[in-house]
Structure 1
Amino acid sequence: MSGFLTKLILVGSFVHAGLSCYHCFIDTEDSMRLCWGHILTEYNIRNVDSCFKMLDRMFNNNQNVIEAAKVGRGYDSVLRKIMMAEIMPIVEEFDQAMNNETEYEDRLQAAADKFITIASGLPRASGCFPPCGFQALGAVYNCMSCQYDTCEFPLDCPLQEITVEENNRTQMWCEVPFILPSDIQIVWRYTEVKTVLMDRFKEVTVGVDKLYSIPSARPEHSGTYQCEIFSQERSLVRIYYHLSVTPRAGVGHVKLQDVFNQALLPAGHFPLTLPQPPFALLRLPRSDLLTVCLSSLLLLLFLTLGLLYYKTTNKKNMKETDQEHEPLRKRYILHTT
């Protein structure tokens, strides 16, 4: 009967301690075996509760132990092996044996220090990167709750605004600051309105492309674009871009391009008219447009100089010809008279 009461007291002490760094890895039965023979030196009596308080102080409430146990996902099993390698030899040695509190203090403190040293060398978690996304690899092991703490961020990222001038290129990237699994799938969706409501979007592409590019943005491209990343059919994050395309007048530039094209053609040739989309010139960068303008002006200048040179040379040749035929002309006049 006395043995049953002793076990009941030990279990009660264990439940009172709750989950913690030590109790995450050491079974209840082993803890009872460890503390069974704890003797208070001052009173020379066995006191189990004092043993559990010592465990709390050295392991459960020791901030160095807690920090050392903050490992990345999958390494909690390694923590268990380290803790058991330090505690179980003491359990086997102290089982059903009387030992004073000084002996407990020295042996358990050495075990705690060894656990801190080895556990601190294990890989750390990447951590949580705000403000959004399910970051499984960023989860950190919490030995106070005996489980991994998730980042607890929403899947939906804040809406990002993009403004682009008409006919300019725009790019949207489906990228996140945290590590992604290797088997991701990316879905791009679009809606004409500014919203983050899922039922308003229509699927555009499915694959692994992180980049969504619009080579020449037009007003009808305005709207909200959503990028959602999946891994094993589980959503990891949803990124939103609201695109605003600013229109600009381009008809005058198109007509100017036609003039330049005709000026560059040889004389007597007419340009071949081909259908083309409106504002086609605006797809050229401004630097190219400036080059065309300068080239056309230089061509017109050369044509003008060439024409002047031709007229001057022709007039001179005619004058020389008249001088050569002047004697003949005089003879002809005398002969006829």
Structure 2
Amino acid sequence: MGVQGQPTAQGQSELFVQESRASLAVGDNQMAGPLDLREEAGPGPLGLKEESPAPPAELESSSMALGLVRAGACLLLGLLVCPACTRACLMCFVTDKERIRICQMFVGMKAWKTKVCDEKFQLAFKDLLKTEINYDERNNLHDSFTQMVHSLQETAVAKGFYTKAFSKAAEEMKKAILQLKKVPACVPPCGVQELTRRFICDGCYSLICKLPLNCPGEGRAGVLGSPPHGGLRVRVSPAGETPLSPVKDVTVNRGDQAMFSCVVDFQLPKEDISYSWKFAKGGVRTQDMSYFRDLPRARGSVARIRPAKPVHAGTYSCVIRHDVRPVARLYFFLNVTGPPPRAETELQVTFREVVRWSRKEPEVVEPWKPGLGELLTNPWALTWEDLCLLAALVAVMVASLTVLVWMFCRWYFSGI
């Protein structure tokens, strides 16, 4: 009858020595007998499992405590001997304590049996060593491993064989991984592509595409003129005709509209995306951020300059951020050439004439208004209105004088 999980000769001698030391430590003078692998042995002729006599009751608690200590020591030794096994998906989502507990439920509390069981456990999942999954699917895979742990515990309670149980669990986990959402492919040539982040089971870490932050320009671009709808018509060199430049060239005629689109080929996160623009003036073509100044009025993925003037020539930089982390940076060099358009020249001339024009007051013939001396010397100049006004004035003066004389006489004679 074949025995499953039989250790090698060297491993059997080491385990035999450990078992003999354990027997001496608990005061057992019996020699260590054949290996007790009743949980691993196949069924007998009648379909029954071979069993060995149970340990004495008085040694059960001591054996349990000693088994836990020896299991931990053996597990540490196994990690040192087989470091590659410690990087499988099994180690990322199932703790050492959970694995030891499962093996103890299958083979008991003996340390060497727990070690052999744990090695078989890791060996069953060796095909998942190089597995890479979508980073967002980690929780789903963790749930699948949790269900696997519960299933193995139920199999151990039912006295099943752990080698078959581990192989079956590994196959089910492979199927579960195939049902997870695939990892999006990296889109060159630039950008921090967070949506392509993948979880690597060989080390239990995450990784994204190793691409530069600065996006190169697509050849050389130029403006052929302003379309009727006021947009920008750009001529781009075919792919492969000229090497990609780190700065995209945009050439416009003076007075036309210049437009920069801060877009990338890869997919951006749907939330917390912001755009910031900077400008290096003076016609400087550079990627040195010390030359750039913020453009607070430029917001969004598109920036427009209308009309373009020579003072607008220089390098423009757009930074795409997810939350506060830069995702991509693009550069545009604006070159403003040519004389101003004819319509603009005529408009400027008209504007200058309007500014220089000053309103002149029209000449008004004012009527002759003679003074008092002229009226006395020339009584004929008085009109009927003037005569009536003069008579009224004389009457008021005579009445006032009469009232004053009356008041004085009354006051004077009242004192006699």
TM-score under structure 1 normalisation? Answer: 0.62
Question: Matched residue of 2:326: which SS?
Answer: strand
Shift of 1:154: 3.3
2:223 is equivalent to residue 157 of structure 1: no
List alignment gaps of at least 5 residues for structure 1. Answer: 40-45, 259-270, 277-337
User: Does the C-alpha gap of structure 1 residues 56 and 145 become closer, same or farther in structure 2, counting only changes over 3 Å?
Assistant: same
Aligned residue number for residue 326 of structure 2: 235
How many angstroms apart in 2 are the aligned matches of 1:133 and 1:201?
Answer: 21
User: Does the C-alpha gap of structure 1 residues 166 and 20 become closer, same or farther in structure 2, counting only changes over 3 Å?
Assistant: same
Aligned residue number for residue 294 of structure 1: none
User: Does the C-alpha gap of structure 1 residues 127 and 223 become closer, same or farther in structure 2, counting only changes over 3 Å?
Assistant: same
User: Does the C-alpha gap of structure 1 residues 14 and 33 become closer, same or farther in structure 2, counting only changes over 3 Å?
Assistant: farther
User: Does the C-alpha gap of structure 1 residues 249 and 136 become closer, same or farther in structure 2, counting only changes over 3 Å?
Assistant: closer
2:260 is equivalent to residue 172 of structure 1: yes
Q: What code does the residue aligned with 2:148 have? A: E
Shift of 1:117: 1.8
Shift of 1:240: 1.3
How many angstroms apart in 1 are the aligned matches of 2:323 and 2:311?
Answer: 34
Aligned residue number for residue 335 of structure 1: none
How many angstroms apart in 2 are the aligned matches of 1:242 and 1:53?
Answer: 62
List alignment gaps of at least 5 residues for structure 2. Answer: 1-21, 23-65, 217-245, 353-416
Aligned residue number for residue 88 of structure 1: 150
Within the candidate set 80, 92, 97, 1:29 is matched to 97
Shift of 1:249: 4.9
Please list the CA deviations of residues 39-85 of structure 1 after superposition, one character each: whole Å capped at 9, or x if unmatched. Answer: 8xxxxxx655554444444324336x815xx1232x21221110121
- Confirm or deny: 8 A CA contact 1:22 1:55 kept in the other structure: no
Structure with larger Rg: 2
Please list the CA deviations of residues 218-263 of structure 1 after superposition, one character each: whole Å capped at 9, or x if unmatched. Answer: 3332211101123333322221112233x23568x679x97xxxxx
Within the candidate set 255, 261, 272, 1:183 is matched to 272
2:167 is equivalent to residue 109 of structure 1: yes
- Confirm or deny: 8 A CA contact 1:186 1:206 kept in the other structure: no
Q: What code does the residue aligned with 1:239 have? A: L
How many angstroms apart in 2 are the aligned matches of 1:222 and 1:244?
Answer: 5
Alignment RMSD (CA, Å): 3.5
- Confirm or deny: 8 A CA contact 2:213 2:329 kept in the other structure: yes
- Confirm or deny: 8 A CA contact 1:174 1:239 kept in the other structure: yes
TM-score under structure 2 normalisation? Answer: 0.51
How many residue pairs get aligned? The number is: 248
2:144 is equivalent to residue 58 of structure 1: no
Question: Matched residue of 1:23: which SS?
Answer: helix
- Confirm or deny: 8 A CA contact 1:224 1:241 kept in the other structure: yes
2:309 is equivalent to residue 218 of structure 1: yes
How many angstroms apart in 2 are the aligned matches of 1:72 and 1:161?
Answer: 34
User: Does the C-alpha gap of structure 1 residues 143 and 155 become closer, same or farther in structure 2, counting only changes over 3 Å?
Assistant: same
How many angstroms apart in 2 are the aligned matches of 1:254 and 1:80?
Answer: 69
How many angstroms apart in 1 are the aligned matches of 2:248 and 2:308?
Answer: 15
- Confirm or deny: 8 A CA contact 1:183 1:232 kept in the other structure: yes
